[in-house]
Amino acid sequence: MDERRARIFDDLRGVLDGELEFEPSARASYAFGASLYEVEPLGVVAPRTEHDVVAVVRYAAEHRLPLHARGAATDSGGGALGPGLVIDFSRHLRKVVHDAGDHVVVEPGITPDALNAHLAPLGRRVEPVPVNAAVGTVGGMIAVDAAGERSPRFGSMADQVERLRVVFAQGETADVGFSPWPSSDDDATTLADSIVRKLHNIRRMALRRPAPPSAALPRNRAGYALSRACTDDGIDLARLICGSEGTLALVLQAALRTVPLPGAQGVALLPFGRIADAADAARRCLEAGLAPSACDLYDWRLLSLARDVDPALHSWIPEAARSALVVEFEADSADEVAGALRRLAGRLARDGRFVGEPATATRRADCERLVGLRRLAEPLLMKAGAAARPISAMDDVAVPPEQLGPVIARFQEVMKRLGIMWTLSAGAADGRIRLRPFLDPADPGDRSRIEPLAAELYEIVLEAGGTVSASSGCGLARTQFLPRQYGDLVQTFRDIKDAFDPAGLLNPGKVIGDDPHQMSRDLKRFPAAAPAAAADSVLLAAAGSGTHRVVPAEGRAEAPTPGPEVILPVLRWPEPGAVGIASACHGCGACRGLEPAMRMCPSYRAHRREEATPRSQANLLRQVASGAADPKLWGSEESRQLASLCIHCKLCKTECPAEIDVSGLMLEAKAAYVELHGLPPGDWVFSRLEMWARLASRFPILSNFLLSRRSARWVIERLLGVSRHRVLPPVRRTPFTRRAARMGLTKARPHEPGPRAAYFVDVYANYYDHELAEAVVDVLRRAEVNVFVPPRQRSSGMAPLIVGDVDYARDLAVSNLRVLGNAVRDGYTIVCSEPTAALMIRHEYVKLTGDLDAELVAQNTMDLGQYLRGLDARGQLPTPSDPLHARVGYHQPCHLRALGVGTPGLELIRKIPELDVEFIDRGCSGMGGTYGLARGQFRTSLRAGRQLVRRLRDDDIEIGSTECGACRIQMEQGQTKRTLHPIKLLSLAYGLNPSLRRHFKDPKPRHVMF
């Protein structure tokens, strides 16, 4: 932290309740968003209260510091980026302050989806909601005057705002809404009154200037909406602030109108052979006065992606469709909706342009799926894997709806002439066009094409009477084009800015800007060459590399180019290498989502810090490799702290739209620290989990006694870092592998009949839960499986891997591969009762080592439930016959989800007679393997898993069930209910464990595990 930042930090920390973040890694996390741009801020403030915001604004005014309000930074124009102090409203200011009747008062950091989830039980909602409603914030929607799929019916955000509570650049707060024009005798008693008086004069002058054609557009978010905010009687300051991108005032609270949930809705998907036909159909739909609530157009690329990912869409979208129009109607009754759908089909079917039968849906879930087609399809564009990606800098234009077809045709001509691949969707009812050309932002040639291409496309739009920004704001991408759109009226915008913010401290450079080439400034930096070129990159992919190696680089330039050392990753990465994979992050913010059905990202959900998001963690590598961040950050304590926020749930790879393995990237960051500084003592303790379990099993009575004593746990916490509050399972006297040897299970018998399964036990079942291991063996034998427990197997190695102790993890992997490889060659399938072990063997061993057995073993390893489900599908698994009278809450472990095999354990126990099973799909348990054991992370892990634990505590759930041992520890923390592996329940249904049947539902002591 430099002297200036240190001074600001010291000045503010005594007056704010919120957090201050001025360290390089924190600033790097806030330097980018979903746009093409990257600007390192001076520092970051995360206010907890309105008082915090006002204090920061007053401090900034006194010291003339720029301020940039930030929600989720998901806009395409870079409107939340800047070199001043960033105020993060999304971390704490996200409450519903008041809801009553037809309005709701909220803080700006709440997401639209969270708000609508709150309103749904009241039969209300806020509309329109944008495509990023799961992660974007209400404050961000107000800042850009966002629109959404249902804007044809509900307008934009400005149409829903009743009043705003704001703080002006001078630090004065006000509740603003409609204010009458002052008379000449009125005195300005407040800053708001003074601003209204100035705006009155500005309006008089603006009326003398010619209005551009875009003034009549239904969607126009370029510049300040003075004409729409004003009447002859006065001005609505709240409406003027909407769409001002945080340049006029900062929103503290918003009073929003709500609308009733529809009584009925219906959607028609109309397939066409050409985009021009779909655009013309939208025009005729509007001319017929059908008044749809949504009317969106999609090109063939988005349609084909949607068909590929959602089987339900196969019957709705014909393969011959090169474009489609999705039209929705809402009404109070189903008859009204059905009538509107009939009139639509009758109107458009006459000319025979359909290339398939139009599809209709009236069930709410189906309607939402079709209306939300863009939410489904657009993220899939990021999974292409090629260097070229859909660029979003030109995706927010609007034209008069009748000009939609001709303008799209001209766009097609431009893209064809330039040889650029593209994709397009449109809000056809209000003329919004979202064109996204595919360009490589790391290629200097493609970067140089962005501004000329935008200028040519915008010229087409403006000639048609359109606007360069419909609903995403101007930001850094579009501000330079406002003079071309508005001419002399730009001076009116400057006057408005001066009336609110004469010092120009609120988000400077947005809406008002003097740089004619601002669009090309501050673009994200990428490594100059492919990651395999040692002379030009900081991080290189070294396939099969055993350890980090520090290599001198000859002739390296001074900063901001990368520093004088090259760090070779320890994992084996496919092309384009670690940095190339990290650079594929679009910054879309999907990892900030809070939907219960999604797991990414448990750490962010617990911390609500931008640094905890996978996009921040992935971009750390790109920033270091490109020189956008100090290369000294790599391998530092600061980067280790950032990497430690990742709990390695491994779900980024499957749930991230760009499929980025952020967990692997953070393993590289941790390993880099270990290489330079050694393994910290606390991490060493957790990496030797198997050693501690083996030691405890030699003295089980003493070990279990100590763990039951509060004073002993306090000492263990101080010495080893294990939280004294964590309830741990009792250790068993003898490892199960030793008992298996006495049972004759450790000798392979490939000559015997039946399917062959080699059981990989791992630490939890081996040392803590013999009942689980015995159930596995008993059920497999019941299915006449030839069971083999390989001797000399060790832990899977996940514990050392996730703390960056890669060398030890590799040693464990090689040791296990020697044992498991022989079993596979004997025809055995490796079966794991612990999903973490299956994930480690299948995915991580091949990254850790180039051993020839790694691929062989990975291809022949399965989760236990997956294996049993396969037996069941072939008719080799007996049907469970003994009924179990219980209500079970099942949790799917993150590592099982990351394996991509579904929920086989859930499917199997649902076949048990009279067993009532609920799938509690409420996110991660928060345990994260050894993460939740640590003293400093115990409470964080509980926050991450609170939704699951809350449901388990409900009276109607009698026991829990999950495959993961760590999840079981979390699920039984502070609970009197037991949690069982699905295989135990299956064994009970086979009548195999009578002792467990007698007490499997009995309450247990709250602070004890059995």
Same domain assignment for residues 9 and 64: yes
- Whether the CB-CB separation of 341 and 290 falls below 8 Å is answered with no
- Residue predicted with more confidence, 266 or 347: 266
687 contacts 803 by C-beta, under 8 angstroms: yes
Question: Percent of the chain having pLDDT more than 90?
Answer: 80
Considering the domain architecture, whether residues 780 and 929 belong to the same structural domain is answered as no
Max CA distance (Å), the chain: 104
Q: What number of CA atoms fall less than 13 Å from residue 260's CA on the CB side?
A: 7
Cα dihedral across residues 43, 46, 52, 54: positive or negative: positive
pLDDT tens column, 565-609: 445 789 999 888 888 889 889 899 999 998 887 888 999 999 999
The verdict on 104 and 240 lying in the same domain is yes
Q: What is the pLDDT of residue 1?
A: 80
Q: Is 132 helix (H, G, I), strand (E, B) or coil?
A: coil
Q: What is the structure's pLDDT at 314?
A: 87
How distant, in Å, are the alpha carbons of 308, 312, 780 from that of 857? 31, 36, 20
Q: Bridge-partner residues for 980, per DSSP?
A: 961
DSSP string spanning 168-194? Answer: -TTS-EEEESEEEPPPTT----SHHHH
Query: In 30-168, where does DSSP find H-type helix?
Result: 50-63, 112-119, 138-144, 151-154
Is 124 domain-assigned? yes
Reported as a single tens digit per residue, the pLDDT across 231-287 is: 999 999 999 999 999 999 999 999 999 999 999 999 999 999 999 999 999 998 888
- Burial status of residue 780 (CB atoms within 10 A of its CB: 0-12, 13-18, 19 or more): buried
Q: Is the pLDDT of residue 427 over 60?
A: yes
Beta bridge partners of 37: 523
User: 4: which 2 tokens?
Assistant: 């200036």
Same domain for 926 and 843, yes or no, is: no
The region that residue 390 occupies, defined by phi over 0 for left and psi between -120 and 50 for alpha, beta otherwise, is beta
CB 609 within 8 A of CB 109: no
Same domain, residue pair 256 and 268: no
Tokens of 967: 């999840």
pLDDT, residue 123, reads 94
Determine the pLDDT at residue 388.
Answer: 86
Give 606-655 pLDDT, tens digit per residue.
Answer: 999 999 999 999 999 999 988 888 888 999 999 999 999 999 999 998 89
Q: 920 and 948 in contact (C-beta within 8 Å)?
A: yes
| Three-class secondary structure of residue 99 per DSSP | strand
Question: Which range marks the domain in which residue 983 is found?
Answer: 880-999
Q: Are residues 141 and 290 in the same domain?
A: no
Give 856-862's long-range contacts (Cβ < 8 A, gap of 24+): 856/821, 856/824, 856/825, 857/817, 857/820, 857/821, 857/824, 857/830, 860/824, 860/828, 860/829, 860/830, 861/760, 861/820, 861/829, 861/830, 861/831, 861/832, 862/829, 862/830, 862/831, 862/832, 862/838, 862/901
Q: Is 612 left (phi over 0), alpha (psi -120 to 50) or beta?
A: alpha
Q: Quick check: bond before 601 cis, omega within 30?
A: yes
In a domain, 390, yes or no: no
Average model confidence (pLDDT) for the chain? 91
Which residues have a Cβ under 8 Å from the Cβ of 819 and sit 6 or more positions away?
Answer: 790, 791, 792, 793
Residue identified by tokens 């039969």 is 123
Average pLDDT, stretch 185-200?
89
Which CATH number goes with the domain that contains 39? 3.30.43.10
**595 closest CA partner among 116, 999, 186, 2:** 116
Residues 249 and 291 in one domain: no
Same domain, 101 and 84: no
pLDDT per residue as tens digits for the range 390-417 = 998 789 999 999 999 999 999 999 999 9
Residue 118 has pLDDT above 90, yes or no: yes
pLDDT (0 to 100) of residue 287? 84
Q: What is the pLDDT of residue 668?
A: 93
Kindly state whether residues 903 and 929 are assigned to the same domain: yes
Whether 829 and 918 share a structural domain: no
pLDDT single digits (tens) 779-811: 999 999 999 999 999 999 999 999 999 999 999
Q: Residue 762's domain is classified under what CATH number?
A: 1.20.1050
Provide the number of structural domains found in the chain. Answer: 6
Among residues 87, 88, 70, the alpha carbon closest in space to that of 79 is found at 70
Query: According to the model, what pLDDT value does residue 384 have?
Result: 58
pLDDT of 122 over the 50 cut: yes
> 């401090």: which residue's tokens?
59
What's the chain's length in residues? 1010
Domain closes at, from 364, 383, 402: 383
pLDDT of 508-530, one tens digit each?
999 999 999 999 999 999 886 54
Out of 841, 873, 905, pick the residue that ends a domain. 873
When pLDDT is cut at 50, 70 and 90, the band that residue 349 belongs to is confident
For residue range 970-999, list pLDDT tens digits in order.
999 989 999 999 999 999 999 998 888 888
Average pLDDT over residues 683-692: 94
Q: Are residues 105 and 254 in the same domain?
A: yes
Which pLDDT belongs to residue 533? 33
On whether residue 584 sits in a domain, the answer given is: yes
Beta bridge partners of 397: 433
In a domain, 224, yes or no: yes
In a domain, 711, yes or no: no
Give 108's Cβ-side CA count (13 Å radius).
32
The one-letter amino acid code at 948 reads: L
Q: What is the DSSP letter of 531?
A: T
Alpha helices in 802-916 (DSSP H): 806-825, 835-839, 845-848, 852-859, 864-873, 894-899, 904-909
Q: What is the pLDDT of residue 385?
A: 64
* CA within 13 Å, CB half, 377: 22
- Is residue 491 one of the residues assigned to a domain? no
DSSP 8-state assignment for residue 230: B
Q: Tell me which H or E stretch contains 949.
A: helix 946-953
For residues 404 and 431, the answer to whether their CB atoms sit within 8 Å is yes
Contact 285, 268 (CB under 8 A): no
Residue 580 lies in a domain: yes
Please report the pLDDT score of residue 392 as a whole number: 86
Here the tokens at position 749 are 């018998």
Strands 786-788 and 756-760: parallel
Query: Which residue in 2, 131, 6 sits closest to 76, CA to CA?
Result: 131
pLDDT, residue 724, reads 93
203 vs 206: CA distance, rounded Å: 5
In angstroms, the CA 997 to CA 1001 distance is 8
The pLDDT score that the predictor gives to residue 218 is 87
Claim to verify: residue 325 and residue 312 sit in the same structural domain: yes
pLDDT digits (tens, 9 = 90+) for 733-770: 999 999 999 999 999 999 999 999 999 999 999 999 99
| Calpha distance 728→723 (Å, rounded) | 10
- Residue that terminates a domain, selected from 60, 88, 116: 88
- Alpha helix positions (H), 464-576: 475-478, 482-486, 490-500
Could you write out the DSSP letters of every residue in 9-43? HHHHHTT-SSEEE-SHHHHHHTSB-SSSBB---SE
- Tell me, what's the pLDDT at 531? 36
Q: Encode pLDDT of 929-974 as tens digits.
A: 899 999 999 999 999 999 999 999 999 999 999 999 999 999 999 8
Residue 484 lies inside a defined structural domain of this protein = no
Q: Is the pLDDT of residue 144 over 90?
A: yes
